[in-house]
Chain A
Amino acid sequence: MRDTALKKNAPKKLALIGNPSAGKSAMFSQMTGINVIISNIPQTTVMVQQGLTRLHGHDVLIYDLPGVYSVTSVSEDEAATKEFLLSTPLDGVIDIVDATRLERNLYLTLQLIELGLPVVVALNQVDLLRTLDLDINVADLEKQLGTHVVPTIATQGEGVHVALETAYDYAERPQEQAHRQVSYDDHVERALAAIIPLLPETTLPKRGFAARLLEGDTDFESRVDTHTLSRVKELREEVERAHGEDVAVTIARGRHSTAALIATAVLARKVHKPTLAEKFGDAATRPRTGYPMLVGLIGGMLALIFYVGGSLSHAITTFFGELVFPPLYGVVDAQVANPFITSAVHSTLLALAASLAIAIPYILLFFIFLAVLEDVGYLPRVAVLLDRQAHIIGLHGRSLIPLLFGYGCSVPAIMATRALPTKKERIITTVLITLIPCSARTAIILGVAATYAGIPYALAIYLISFVLIVASGRLLRSTIPGRTPGLVLEIPLVRRPAVIPILKKTWLRMKEFLYIAVPLLVAGSILFGWLELAGLSQFIEAPMAPITVGILGLPAFTGICLIYGVLRKEMAIEMLAIASGTFVFSTVMTPVQIFVFCLVVTLYVPCLATFGVIARELNARWAVGISIFTIVLALVAGGVAFRVLTFVHL
């Protein structure tokens, strides 16, 4: 059927598909070694990713499709997935079925089988069945579906290779196709029987084709002539008259009932008592327990990062500043005469120390914390808890997941907005993400403002950013046209966080920082050292002075820091350390200056990477617009704060 024999040398093409949070990304990274960030959040994979692996000496190309509940829906993700499945000649499709939610996941499986795709089922998360007092008879499930079923635990790599091999072998022997048919209601069956003789010859199974036509799938309607189409329309009306409901609902019912029959046949249940994890999950969404939990977690996280991170940061800077640098400087200064080279060495060391002092204590800790919350399944519960509050800023709870990601890093957060169903929500969420203090900004707020100006100043920055987020949200809600459909969000099981996946995820996120930010910072630091040496630095500081000194009341050397902050936010303070020549900022700036500086850095322009991702996800005009908006916001907020605080202190 599928034309694979002709292309012996072409790599086999396999696709991974499944419901959101069924474990596709984990499976994908196990199969290909590509490190996709895996999270316990519906809708993390928002575009088709591909990776290459080798099996029996052949290349195998693997596509990771977005998580979908079905391939019929009108939503963007599902339309993209359907388009991909229909237009790409695939040798195999690995359908990742969440074993803990078997019946619901089988709906998609049945749709895939109906489309004639070479489906192999990976029954994932089988390890969780026991905690839920469930048991699935895999052999029975294979018989029921008429296809191979491989139990897997994707996060641990168990069964993944078997699933891959099974799909591969299946692709080699495509004749083996005896699949479960969906049994529809009598009216639908009669309509299908009437449609099937009218269909043109295609590679698609006729029954599935007919069902798609009957439910009014436009992708299939374009494949038949107008005569067939008008006949289908008549039949559709007949079914709708008999059932008094949309035919799509009747057909969906057929698929769901078949899925229910299969699930009942293979699933054994024992009496289940709610586990501690389930009670925790339940408490997280109830206002009475959920709000204190949220406040406690965020407060605890900030305190942890501030105290633990702060002392780590202090230890790192002391270690370098007192133990490592002096002897190194001594050696270099004694050996090298060229001041530009000694300056470069000094700058490099300073930049490395600054990166370590920021990255490890603040950003690393934050990422670990975020990864734990993600893997436990806490974030969707926050989305539920705060859905009502999200309405105030024109959003629904689902936008809170990208927004919470925004506390980590704006770039993946903005990418995660693709899972939102409307353009309006995507725009509002993107704009608000740029105002959220990301981990880099948290490093600035906690590492500089809280440490050198005082904790109240740090809290004030959070408060101001929060107020601005709410105000901007309200403004956008009323200016951007369109309405947004309400929340429909699957709540994942609460899972015990596993150490390895969390460390892996954290490393992936840190890697970007180490590979991109550190070299940039070293280069910037060397350049700055040379400018100082050549006496040129005032050419940067002078034109910035009206803003830095005039509007914001900051020392002139902060000008270059603000420019660096555009590249990456945390570089603003690393450069501050370099430009001022000390880590102890309180010796060169007043608390008010530190506060204003941190406030401005928190608010002004999204960093370069964020700008790029906004331009890609929305468009360049939005990226420019958001930058201008945030600069104005930062200057106004900073200018006002400077004047008010100076006035108060007088």
Chain B
Amino acid sequence: MAQDYELSSSEEEYLEAIYTRQEGKAQVATTRELATCLGVRDASVTEMLKKLSEKGLVNYTPYHGATLTKTGCEIATKVKRKHRLLERFLVDICGIGKRESHKQACEIEHVISDEAIDNLSAQLGYPSTCPGGSAIPASGTEDQTPVSKLSEVKEGSYMIRFLTSPEPETISRLCSLGLIPGLTVRVLQTVSGGPLIIEMKDTQIALGRDVADSLLVSPEEAEGGRRRRTRRGAPSAATAG
């Protein structure tokens, strides 16, 4: 199982670097290229590629270069995804410059959990690209339904997907009213800047914009089966190579 691999940060960095090369349509990442990209000596690259090859993560041909195995690719995709989402977060939310965000993302990507990154992705509204414009790989575990803040939707039916608020009181109030993930609500009235009026369980409730911001929703088809309930955050089990 992929999750059993205890990889060091630098191992993950290598996988990521090879991934980036392959993403750029290159068939093989050469030792030379990797050394330049990671700023290390050629010898170190050779040594590391051998090690990763033994773990079954890369296919290494001496003097030629390396490609990722299926498992290696899965791990690299995950790391890259973390990296790019973190960049998005650092640039969009923290207001940090692109160069600096890259550096910090390189550090955090190795310690942040899969669950945390999936939730971050949801909070950011499932962005598809990093600040540099590269695609953010999808995660195998997260639900890909696009979500938006309840405060930003038009009138119609929506299903609540996430509850996020820095104030426990708001969460608690919404919970006791029954506004919890999985519930379908109808937005009856939305006036720019003013509160929304929603209908749920035969009750009309007015929600201030800021409260509506803490409800992430996805559009609900007019009629249709109850959708599967997604279990976010379950430990992801990638297949072993």
Residues of chain A whose beta carbon lies under 8 Å from any beta carbon of chain B: 69-70, 72-75, 78, 100-104, 107, 132, 134, 241-246, 248-249, 252-253, 256, 259-260, 263, 282, 285-287, 380, 383-385, 387-388, 396-397, 421, 485-491
Contact = CB atoms under 8 A, between A and B. Distances in A.
A387 B231 contact: no
B161 to A, nearest CB: 11
Contacts of B169: 73-75, 421, 485
A486 B177 contact: no
Contacts of B210: 485-486
A219 to B, nearest CB: 14
B145 interface: no
A103 B181 contact: no
Contacts of A72: 172, 176
A104 B178 contact: yes
Given A253-B182, A384-B197, 5 more contacts: A244-B118, A253-B181, A286-B191, A384-B206, A485-B169
Contacts of B204: 490-491
B209 interface: yes
B189 to A, nearest CB: 6
18 contacts: A69-B176, A70-B176, A74-B168, A75-B169, A78-B176, A104-B177, A241-B115, A244-B118, A245-B181, A248-B175, A384-B195, A385-B194, A388-B193, A388-B195, A485-B170, A486-B211, A488-B173, A491-B197
A107 B202 CA distance: 14
Given A242-B231, A486-B210, A489-B206, A256 B180 contact: yes
B176 A107 contact: yes
Q: Is the interface of B mostly helix, strand, loop or mixed?
A: mixed
B163 interface: yes
Given A101-B202, A107-B176, A488 B207 contact: yes
Contacts of A385: 194
Contacts of A260: 201
A388 B194 contact: yes
Shortest 6 CB-CB contacts between residues of A and residues of B: A244-B233, A486-B208, A487-B208, A70-B176, A244-B232, A486-B210
B172 A397 contact: no
Contacts of A107: 176, 178
Nearest to B173: A488
B211 A102 contact: no
Interface of B: 115, 118-119, 163, 167-178, 180-183, 188-189, 191, 193-195, 197, 200-212, 231-234
A259 B173 CA distance: 17
Contacts, number: 147
A488 B211 contact: yes
B206 A69 contact: no
Nearest to B174: A488
Nearest to B115: A244
A387 B194 contact: yes
A560 to B, nearest CB: 48
Contacts of A256: 178, 180, 183
A545 B118 CA distance: 74
Given A101-B202, A103-B201, A285 B119 contact: no
Contacts of B208: 387, 396-397, 486-488
B206 A383 contact: yes
A241 B233 contact: yes
Contacts of B172: 72-75, 248
Contacts of B171: 246, 248-249
Contacts of B231: 242-244
Contacts of A489: 195, 205-206
A252 B180 contact: yes
Nearest to B208: A486
B202 A485 contact: no
A104 B200 CA distance: 9
Nearest to B122: A244
B233 A104 contact: no
Nearest to A71: B176
A263 B178 CA distance: 14
Contacts of B234: 241-242, 244
